Amino acid sequence: MATPKKRSGIGRQIEHPLHPDDQFLVEQKEAYYSNFDWDEYRARRDRYWKLDLSRSDVDAPAEVRHVIQAGNDQTALTSFSWHAWYPGEIHLWRTRKVSREKAYQGYWVEDLWEPPPRKSIPGRFNHAGEPLLYACLDDPWAAIREARVAGRGDIFIVMKYALVGGELRVKRIGVPHPDSNLRWGHRAIEYEISMFIEAAIRAPAGDHGPDTYGFTRELLHEFYPLAGGQEEGWMYESVQVPQAWNLALPPNVAHRLLELRGVVVGVVAEEDNGGLDFRVEMPDWTDSVTPLNGGRIGFPTFKPELKPGQTPLDVLPD
């Protein structure tokens, strides 16, 4: 596997190391990276990508540790955390596939957030019964693709949230913030290790058997634990839509910092290229949102005033 190309254009965040003045941490990193063996690392990395990680006798997290500890087999990996800071002015988008009948009936407001614990299934970062709010950063079309909306006639709802409760600090997976305290060669090692772990965590569902997400959760909590008081969720590149970014937030954080600004319903009118490129048609009966009694949201027949090329996604309130 070649060294991934560095990416950019990931939003309006301000990045900085968690511990810029911690000389002890810098010394630990320097000692670790000084022993790093590039040739051994590449050999272990290549072997890892050839493993059948769906086999029950393969300990995938241990295999990842084995790769990144090349030259440091007796040394624990020093954390190389970073985070992204959102001071405001961002929107998050989330999509769910639904039935036509349910769309006609409408939704309770609480249906438009994370699933309740009793309905929460295991995910890339969460255990069953411990839901997270997964949403796409500033890109409603990425959210539609994340929900695997692709078949002609698929009905879906798209929710828009605004950051209103103050700043949001999240741990970003992959693409490390360069540590200016490190020498250039050691920064390259940190970058390579980070991108390898990110690639392992972003394994598509089912790639490693039925428990792929069990594997990604173990890696997340081992290599990307949240720093208490400094980070409140995770940010990672979309598996379905490269160059798009997702957030995974605990419910208490989502409800404290976000506000639901609107929801629309759509239907796939046409699909091409395996469902990755498609037009989205917003039928008349789904073009607006009306709060009903008891916090219920319905979708009456109402046509908003749209400019050429716009959809109702473009006219939801900020």
Phi/psi of residue 267, each to 5°? -135, 140
| Cβ atoms < 10 Å from Cβ of 100 | 14
Distance of CA 244 to the CA centre of its chain: 9
pTM greater than 0.85 (yes/no): no
Q: What is the pLDDT along the chain (318 residues), one digit of tens a residue?
A: 233 333 333 444 444 444 444 666 778 888 888 999 999 999 999 999 998 877 878 888 888 989 999 988 767 665 555 566 666 678 999 998 888 777 777 777 778 899 888 888 888 888 889 899 999 998 888 898 888 876 666 788 888 899 987 888 888 888 766 677 888 899 899 889 988 998 888 887 767 667 777 788 888 888 888 877 778 899 888 888 888 899 999 999 999 999 888 788 777 766 554 443 445 555 444 444 555 445 666 665 445 666 777 777 776 767
Specify the amino acid at residue 67.
Answer: V
Q: Is residue 286 part of a domain?
A: yes
Spatial separation of the C-alpha atoms in residues 53 and 218, rounded to whole Å = 14
Helix axes 38-50, 184-201, angle to 10 degrees: 10
Residue 271 domain boundaries: 85-168+251-315
* Domain-embedded: residue 238: no
Name residues whose C-beta falls within 8 Å of residue 15's C-beta, 6 or more positions apart in sequence: 82, 83, 84, 85, 172, 177
For the chain, the domain total comes to 2
Are 164 and 279 members of one domain?
A: yes
Does 94 reside within a domain? yes
Q: Is residue 6 part of a domain?
A: no
φ/ψ of 194, rounded to 5, equals: -60, -45
34 and 162 within one domain: no
| pLDDT of 304 | 61
Tokens describing residue 262: 């609107």
> What pLDDT does residue 120 have?
86
- The answer on 157 and 294 residing in a single domain is yes
In a domain, 235, yes or no: no
Residues 128, 191, single domain; the answer is: no
> Is 4 part of a structural domain of the chain?
no
Say whether both 98 and 161 belong to one domain: yes
Specify the pLDDT at position 250.
94
Q: Are residues 115 and 208 in the same domain?
A: no
In this structure, the number of other CB atoms found within 10 A of the CB of residue 115 comes to 16
Tell me, yes or no, whether 152 and 270 share the same domain: yes
Asked if residue 266 is part of any domain, the answer here is: yes
Please give the pLDDT value at position 274.
45
H-type alpha helices, the chain = 23-34, 38-50, 60-68, 100-105, 140-146, 184-201, 212-223, 251-257
CA distance 28 to 26: 5
Q: Is 263 found in the same domain as 158?
A: yes
Domain shared by 143 and 272, yes or no: yes
- What CA–CA distance (Å, rounded) separates 16 from 172? 11
Residues 150 and 211 in one domain: no
Quick check: is 113 in a domain? yes
Which pairs with CB-CB distance under 8 Å and at least 24 residues apart come from 215-219? 215/53, 215/60, 215/61, 216/124, 216/125, 217/122, 217/124, 217/125, 217/126, 217/127, 218/60, 218/61, 219/60, 219/61, 219/64
User: 57: which residues sit within 8 A by CB, 6+ positions away?
Assistant: none
Q: Are residues 144 and 33 in the same domain?
A: no
158 and 266 in a single domain? The answer is yes
Say if residues 142 and 241 touch (Cβ distance below 8 Å).
yes
